[in-house]
Chains A and B, each alone.
Chain A
Amino acid sequence: MRAVRHIAVNVFRESVRDKVLYSLVLFAVLLIATSYLLGQLTAGQDIKIIKDLGLASISVFGLLIAVFIGIGLVWKEVERRSIYSLLAKPISRAEFVLGKYAGLVLTLLVNIGVMTIAFYAVLVYLGWREIPEVREAWPAPAADPAMLGAIGLIAIELMLVTAIALFFSTFSSPFLSAVLTLGLWVVGHFNADLRDFEAVVESRPAVWLARTLYYVLPNFSAFDIKAQVVHAQPVGVGYLAQTAIYGLVYIALVLVGAAVVFSRRDFK
């Protein structure tokens, strides 16, 4: 565990010293500011549009961080051979993989945290500026704490994306890993449609295949409750808990897979 923590801290240090990360955070903050300006231009719906844009940009920037750092982490160590001296130290390859993952998750959570704070700051300001009559008409308060549920699920979704990116990067090139990870992410968002596949297709094998994929592929659409939260529709604690557990179990599966693949690998 000590080794895992040690590697994780080093990953975090690497990403903090990587200027790409700063610019991503900066861009997210800028986007939230832009959404604020946009809200000024469209009458009435501004609070909803800002919530939409804010949640979407947290999700998208988190995704960029998860994928584009996740795919490079292990690959870079192998490609530059820095892993040679590292693996001669008393750590197992599984600890290496877990440490890399933990470090990236730490980076990700810090980033999501920064974005969330900026997001809520804009919302609090907007709520404070508006006259009470308008505020009454909103379905939910500006700085609605229910959105934390949506952000929490986004965080778990991105942790799963990170795990998948890491898994692919234990055996393939960054480009291929990015394509595969993003591909899975897109497919995972159409997951609900796989269930209803027999509505559009009659071929039995195709339906079975869709069913199997529906059960086995990560169901990313389950993590997306942005629209519900923005429209102040209730999302039960049970749903949040069940989805979170699903995400964490899936993460464990992918990480064990990554550790197994990585433990067998030859570094030619």
Chain B
Amino acid sequence: MKAAVAMVLLLAAVVGLQALREQSGTLAPQAGTGNLLYVRSGEFMTRAVLSFDSLAADVYWIRAVQHYGRSKLSGGVDKKYDILYPLLDLTTALDPKFDIAYRFGAVFLAERPPAGPGRPDQAIALLERGLRAQPGRWQLAQDLGFVHYWYLHDYLRAAEWFKRSSEIPGAPNWLAPLAAVTLAQGGSRGSSRQLWQQVLESADADWLRVQARFRLRQLDAMDQIAALEQAVKLYERRIGSLPMSWADMVRTGDLRGIPVDSERHPFELNPFWGTVTLDRASPLNPLPAPEQPR
């Protein structure tokens, strides 16, 4: 009985100390050095891990995911993602057939800050290496097209990659028309929507479907923003001044209620410029850069 009480008290102390450790996070000196990566040469590592290279690749992949997740979560300034590329590089050197590391990794790398390091060049390098290792993977070529399209707005190159990917045996039949649409009207929300819609319908992985749905919701939000800005312009023309808030436009009957995005966050109105943006807390942030139709 005495022992049971002692054990409960000690367990409480352990949990308490662990909580204390979490609170006084500054005490933990790990924060600065969790990002240390000693070995950066994939070639060396492949030899060093003996026959466990696939397992080691898994470990580095997990580290890459955690590094990404932790950097993304860490509030404020130190979102460096500084060893993300070396980690992915090591992972794919240890296991050159690690598809998910190329594909997910490219998305990680290409994301604009603060959601990622904003390095589409590294994403492309990673994917190109993947394609060299496995020339039969049309998905990698398709992803290259994506990176060019979505992050670099280089629709010519994007169309080129979509076309190359459609020529790889086993590629789905929607890739060839996608290449054509990209070439003709790359950058328009319409063509983007078509791109993601295709991905959603043909995705073979959950994360890809999640990603596609998210992008489609972002496109919806962009459509909404365009419509709202149009409505604000009409209001200004009619009343002679910009609305101070959505409430003004509800009163005049221009809006039926406070406009919200698909995540139920209200859009923000800038009363000085008449521009409309997402709520800062909306998970749809950050929206892709303004369109640059050719």
Contacts and interface: CB of A to CB of B under 8 A. Distances in A.
Interface of A: 192-193, 195-196, 199-200, 214-216, 219, 221-222, 225, 227-228, 231, 233-236, 238-239, 242-243, 245-246, 249-250, 252-253, 256-257, 259-260, 263
Nearest to B72: A199
B33 A260 contact: no
Contact of B29 (A195, A228, A257, A259): A228
Given A196-B69, A215-B15, A253-B10, 8 more contacts: A196-B73, A219-B18, A231-B33, A236-B27, A249-B14, A250-B10, A253-B14, A256-B6
A14 to B, nearest CB: 27
Interface string B23-64: 010011110111010000000000000000000000000000
Contacts of A192: 30, 34
29 contacts: A192-B30, A196-B73, A199-B72, A214-B18, A215-B18, A216-B14, A222-B21, A225-B29, A227-B36, A228-B30, A228-B33, A233-B33, A235-B29, A236-B27, A236-B29, A238-B27, A242-B21, A242-B24, A242-B27, A246-B17, A249-B10, A250-B14, A253-B7, A253-B11, A256-B3, A256-B7, A260-B4, A260-B7, A263-B3
Interface of B: 3-4, 6-7, 10-11, 13-15, 17-22, 24, 27-30, 32-34, 36, 65-66, 69-70, 72-73
Contacts of A236: 27, 29
A259 B10 CA distance: 14
Contacts of A233: 29, 32-33
Q: Interface residues of A: mostly helix, strand, loop or mixed?
A: helix
Please indicate which of the listed interface residues B4, B15, B20, B28 has the most CB atoms of chain A within 10 Å of its own CB.
Answer: B28
A222 B22 CA distance: 11
A249 B30 contact: no
Given A200-B69, A219-B21, A246-B17, A256 B32 contact: no
Contacts of A234: 29
B28 A239 contact: yes
B15 A216 contact: yes
Contacts of B66: 193, 196, 199-200
Contacts of A257: 7
A139 to B, nearest CB: 13
Contacts of A235: 29
A259 B6 CA distance: 12
A227 B33 contact: yes
A222 B73 contact: no
Contacts of B7: 253, 256-257, 260
B111 to A, nearest CB: 14
Given A231-B33, A236-B27, A246 B21 contact: yes
Nearest to A226: B33
